[in-house]
Structure 1
Amino acid sequence: MNAGAASVHASAVKVGNRAVLIRGPSGAGKSRLAFDLILAGRAGQVPEAVLVGDDRVHLDTADGKLVVSPAPELAGLIEIRGLGIHRCAFIDEAIVDLVVDLQAADAERMPPRDALLTRISGVIVPRIPVGTGYSALPLVVAALTMTAISSSAQPAGDCPKGIGNHISPTIATE
């Protein structure tokens, strides 16, 4: 870790080859989402997932990428609400490829494109703003496993409303 690395109140999990940085106020569910991602990896819902750090992590940049590492005093520890602090496997660093902001004030049903990006230490990273009371796990799983629809995509020819909200005329109709 570089001496210039910033210590932040967040959790991080490496899922496959990309790390998810989880931010939010105290009690927002950062540790819960981190643990849920690890379990989703074990269940095969997402690629293998391993803890980077819980509660406090260090952020640095290298080669134009955002790098996350655990706070040394908390390395390998995760809080499981109702069970306490537990030791688990962890890695020393990972490249952040997704930021999840829990209890985000700007969370919307259909967020504008600029809300889906954030800049941290000069690095632009994809972002998911999650509103208070909403489960973050399905959004994160979708972001990690599904291909985004391009803004240039054309709606299906069989969609009478032209908004791509129908699977087929026989399944979903007006």
Structure 2
Amino acid sequence: MTGTDAPAPPATIHAGCVLVDEAGILIRGPSGAGKSRLAQALIAGAQASGRFARLVSDDRCCVRACNGRLVVRPPAVLAGLLEVRGIGIVRTETEGAAVVRLVVDCEAELPERYPQSTDRTVTVAGISLPRIRVSCGDSSTTAAVVLGMLGRIERPMLHLLTE
């Protein structure tokens, strides 16, 4: 193997990631947009309905394309840490990695009511993924919408198995 054959090191991006069942949800947005609050609401909402959910990373994520999938890991220095506004940094249980199935972009403004089809996907580290844009003002409601959307993405070909 030559130096040019080595895989590129993972990129570190400003985002958080939550694992729900087997699907990673990458949460992006500017500082103060509500990424950590949304991550907590997603975990609580999923667990309340009997689903597995755990934080992968808060605030920063190492992303790498691997066999056509986007894999997220926490930077070593942030592993197991979560920022809780008004409290500070707390330790929490985390997963070591996740394969991203959905990207959620937190925005200060309300997203378009009917987004263009080109706005429904985004490319991260060369991998095209479904994306939704949300306003993270009410994280519980937003989490319910994201979890509902995740269910549609996780089972796009389920009908083929039941026909």
- Normalising by the smaller structure, the TM-score range is 0.7 to 0.9
Show the counterpart of 1:94.
Answer: 98
Matches within 5 A, 1:78-89: 78-89=82-93
> Higher helix fraction: Structure 1 or Structure 2?
2
- Pick one of 133, 136, 144 that aligns with 1:138: 144
- Pick one of 68, 73, 92 that aligns with 1:69: 73
Which stretch of structure 1 is more off in the superposition, 103-112 or 61-70? 103-112
| CA 1:133–1:86: 2 relative to 1, 3 Å | closer
- Pick one of 56, 59, 63 that aligns with 1:55: 59
Show the counterpart of 2:112.
Answer: 108
| CA 1:8–1:143: 2 relative to 1, 3 Å | same
> Higher strand fraction: Structure 1 or Structure 2?
2
TM-score where L is the length of structure 2: 0.81
Residues 77-120 of structure 1: per-residue CA shift (max 9 Å, x gap): 11121222111111111101100001176921111222110011
Show the counterpart of 2:160.
Answer: none
TM-score where L is the length of structure 1: 0.76
- Work out whether residues 35 and 80 of structure 1, in 8 Å CA contact, stay in contact via their aligned partners in 2: no
Which stretch of structure 1 is more off in the superposition, 72-81 or 107-116? 107-116
Give, as a single letter, the amino acid of the residue that structure 1 aligns with 2:123.
R
Give, as a single letter, the amino acid of the residue that structure 2 aligns with 1:29.
G
| CA 1:89–1:4: 2 relative to 1, 3 Å | same
State the percentage of identical aligned residues. 43
| CA 1:106–1:118: 2 relative to 1, 3 Å | farther
- Work out whether residues 104 and 129 of structure 1, in 8 Å CA contact, stay in contact via their aligned partners in 2: no
Show the counterpart of 1:29.
Answer: 34
Show the counterpart of 2:46.
Answer: 41
Segments of structure 1 that go 5 or more residues without pairing to the other structure are 151-174
Segments of structure 2 that go 5 or more residues without pairing to the other structure are 1-6, 157-163
Residues 33-78 of structure 1: per-residue CA shift (max 9 Å, x gap): 1111111122117x21111000111000110100000011010111
Q: Which has the higher contact order (CA 8 A, sep 6+)?
A: 2
CA RMSD of aligned residues (A): 2.3
